[in-house]
Structure 1
Amino acid sequence: MDWDKLRIFHAVAQAGSFTRAGEILHLSQSAVSRQISALEESLNVSLFHRHARGLLLTEQGELLFDTARDVSAKLAMTEARLMDAHEKPSGELRVTATVGLGANWLTPRIREFIELYPGITVNLILADRELDLGMREADIAIRMRAPQQPDLIQRKLMAINHHVYASPEYLKKHGTPTRIEDLLDSSLITYGDEAPANLSNVNWLARELSKIGRIKEPIFKVNNVNGLLLAVQSGLGIAGLPDYIVHGHTNVVRILPEVGGPTFDSYYVYPEELRKSKRVNIFRDFLIRKVAEYAF
């Protein structure tokens, strides 16, 4: 069997559609469909049930998928071991993280990592959706919740805390709140309706205030934590922000320190087949050291 066709078959079976597999493989939907049809013709079996809701594996397709999955995992593991066989770690390390954490906390620390390990190239993929590590969309993920897949290794990285923030300019103009009740008449900035689904209780400040009394309509909504930070920095209003994102910004101050939002753990996640990868383990240990240097 043609391995290239098997590779495409494996991607389609994982994704459940030609279109989604094409996006992952950087191929057109028609090219993916042609490869699957050619594979089915060469094997003289149907591998998928095609219907309006997507693709389902046939019994023969399930049998082939089990083998293709095992081969893909072993090839990925072998590739990692070959690249790690050098005396010094080298090669590309694809890391995915949320836009907020990746841009504001992780990116400023990448220079030090590369200076320590110049043979490793970091490819950082910022996305608030969770990339599929099983489909090799990335090697490592830093996630805001524990993964559900049993074949992923997880290591707690750090706790994410939230507090209330405003800019000195806003406080000079409107006064500094001394009680949470003072926020009922303030200009609130919140996440919009399309807030990241993988983050729970993102609009915690508005919910806490609604328990106390009637709050005004938020002055501004945005579906990204970077947007929240920039809006607060501009003096537009007050927002609940994760503590990591304000680190290093002098024009944002914490107010009402006794008022805290949700706390949840973030995780360093990677596939089982990369357990022995030097690059994966070196990057993990580096991030753990960086977390220890800064109290969130």
Structure 2
Amino acid sequence: MDWDKLRIFHAVADAGSLTHAGDVLHLSQSAVSRQVRALEESLNTTLFRRHARGLILTEQGELLFEATNAMIKRLDAASARIRDSEEEAFGDLKVTTTTGFGSLWLAPRLTKLYEKYPNLKIDLMLEERVLDLPMREADVAIRMKEPSQADLIRKRLMSVRMRLYASSEYLKQNGVPVEMSDMSNHRLICQNTTSAQVGAGLNLVQELLTHDIRSMLAVNNYFGVLQGVINHLGIGVLPDYIIEDFPQAVRVLPDVQSIEVPVFLAYPEEMRHSKRISVFRDFVEEEIFAHRKQLKMLASTSAMQ
């Protein structure tokens, strides 16, 4: 099928007029009409009906327009990726990370990135499933384990531990646990043991459940656990990166925590020179640095009190 004819058909369908399409394509109305007629003959079908308001697509025309529309979008995306390697950061960037990290830490900080690069279009995909970066299911990933896929550039960003938190109001009403056995007197809020989560968090929850927990709220993500904690429902198992942005969550049983969980940023080797990837990577690293600095200040303040 002749691409020039498809391009002209698409312009006519989009404009709803031979004249307007000709203006966009810098062609005469007669030249546009000839190309559309030739395309209809090659397909042995009618693509447009004439109407008082202009040209209306037939059912066959609608099918072809859907196809050309998808082609145009793919070509625009490819063009953006090519230009993006050398020019300013703009266009689509598919980022995948876990629901907890994406909703509680990353998303609230994206304002700073958009202030610098307002033409970015970020598709933030929050799920526990590990997407295939080499197959372009996503452009960049932030995961709670080192990616095992080949042909990836990977960088360790930070470490996370799962700890116990509660609101001050909850602790005033229900008392502060002093040792693990005291958890039997409190409501535990945690991720469901059957939901996808990092092994360190699961192990901590399983250990807590050995202490005769009588009341419990199980959620399938850390955002839900946090909501339970800040609404005074009980003591929650949460990643330590929440403490900076949610000071109403007070740490309890400071000797109880999971092993370290490494956090990695990864992207395909072929996107090494992508401007979109580099500005996102730099932004995350800058925020991680600021996050660590703030945590040290909080720890210092806490030690002085």
What is the aligned partner in structure 1 of residue 154 from structure 2? Answer: 154
- Helix, strand or coil: the match of 2:109? helix
What is the aligned partner in structure 2 of residue 202 from structure 1? Answer: 201
- Could you tell me which amino acid in structure 2 is paired with residue 219 of structure 1? M
- Could you tell me which amino acid in structure 2 is paired with residue 264 of structure 1? V
What is the aligned partner in structure 1 of residue 129 from structure 2? Answer: 129
Whether the 8 Å contact between 2:80 and 2:91 is mirrored in structure 1 is no
Q: What is the CA–CA distance in structure 2 between the aligned matches of 1:171 and 1:229, rounded to whole Å?
A: 15
- Could you tell me which amino acid in structure 2 is paired with residue 261 of structure 1? S
Q: What is the CA–CA distance in structure 1 between the aligned matches of 2:91 and 2:85, rounded to whole Å?
A: 8
Q: What is the CA–CA distance in structure 2 between the aligned matches of 1:260 and 1:290, rounded to whole Å?
A: 24
Matched, 1:261 2:253: no
What is the aligned partner in structure 2 of residue 83 from structure 1? Answer: 84
- Could you tell me which amino acid in structure 2 is paired with residue 242 of structure 1? P
What is the aligned partner in structure 1 of residue 221 from structure 2? Answer: 224
Q: CA RMSD in A?
A: 2.2
Q: What is the CA–CA distance in structure 2 between the aligned matches of 1:258 and 1:238, rounded to whole Å?
A: 15
Determine which structure has more spread, i.e. the larger CA radius of gyration.
2
What is the aligned partner in structure 2 of residue 112 from structure 1? Answer: 112
1:292, distance to aligned residue in structure 2 (A): 0.6
Q: What is the CA–CA distance in structure 1 between the aligned matches of 2:208 and 2:279, rounded to whole Å?
A: 44
1:134, distance to aligned residue in structure 2 (A): 2.2
Give the TM-score taking structure 2 as reference length.
0.65
**1:83-122 alpha-carbon deviations (Å, 9 max, x no partner):** 2332x22222111111111111111111111111223222
Matched, 1:276 2:273: yes
What is the aligned partner in structure 2 of residue 4 from structure 1? Answer: none
- Unaligned stretches of 5+ in structure 2? 1-76, 296-305
Whether the 8 Å contact between 2:165 and 2:235 is mirrored in structure 1 is yes
The size of the alignment, in residue pairs, is 217
- Could you tell me which amino acid in structure 1 is paired with residue 112 of structure 2? E
Give the TM-score taking structure 1 as reference length.
0.67
Q: What is the CA–CA distance in structure 1 between the aligned matches of 2:257 and 2:216, rounded to whole Å?
A: 21
Matches within 5 A, 1:1-296: 80-86=81-87, 88-197=88-197, 199-209=198-208, 214-295=211-292
- Helix, strand or coil: the match of 1:294? helix
Distance 1:258 1:214, change over 3 A: closer
Identity, % of aligned pairs? 38
1:218, distance to aligned residue in structure 2 (A): 4.5
- Could you tell me which amino acid in structure 2 is paired with residue 107 of structure 1? A
Distance 1:114 1:136, change over 3 A: same
1:77, distance to aligned residue in structure 2 (A): 9.1
1:78, distance to aligned residue in structure 2 (A): 8.2
1:202, distance to aligned residue in structure 2 (A): 2.2
Whether the 8 Å contact between 2:128 and 2:196 is mirrored in structure 1 is yes
Whether the 8 Å contact between 1:92 and 1:121 is mirrored in structure 2 is yes
Larger mean Cα displacement after TM superposition, 214-223 or 173-182:
214-223
